[in-house]
Amino acid sequence: MKNAPDLEDMHVVTVAAEAAGARLDKYLTDTLQDKEGSAAPSRARLRQLIEEGHVTLEGPGAGARPVAEPARRVKEGERWRVVLPPPVAAKPEGQAIPLEIVYEDDALIVVMKPAGLVVHPGPGNADMTLVNALVAHCGETLSGIGGERRPGIVHRLDKETSGLMVVAKTDRAHKGLSLQFAAHGRDGKLARAYTALTWGVPAPKRGTVDANIARAAHNRVKMATVTPRDAEQKNDKRGGRIAITHYAVKAAYAGGLVAQVECRLETGRTHQIRVHMTAIGHPLLGDPTYGTGMKSRKSKLSVDAQIALERLGRQALHAHHLGFEHPVTGEKMSFDAELPADMRALVEALEG
Residue 193 CB neighbours (<10 A): 19
- Provide long-range contacts, Cβ within 8 A and 24+ apart, for 235-239: 235/69, 235/71, 235/72, 235/73, 236/69, 236/71, 237/71, 238/71, 238/214, 239/212, 239/214
Q: What is the three-class DSSP state of 317?
A: strand
- List 158, 236, 287, 342, catalytic entry: 158
Distance between CA 320 and CA 192 in Å, rounded? 8
Count how many Cα atoms sit within 13 Å of the Cα of residue 54 in the half-sphere of its side chain: 20
228, containing H or E segment? helix 228-233
- Our answer to whether residue 25 is catalytic in this structure is no
In terms of Cα–Cα distance, which of 292, 296, 297, 337 is closest to 315? 292
The Cα 299–Cα 313 span in angstroms is 16
Question: Who contacts 282 (Cβ-Cβ below 8 Å, separation ≥6)?
Answer: 198, 199, 200, 201, 202, 259, 261
- Report, as residue numbers or ranges, the catalytic residues: 158
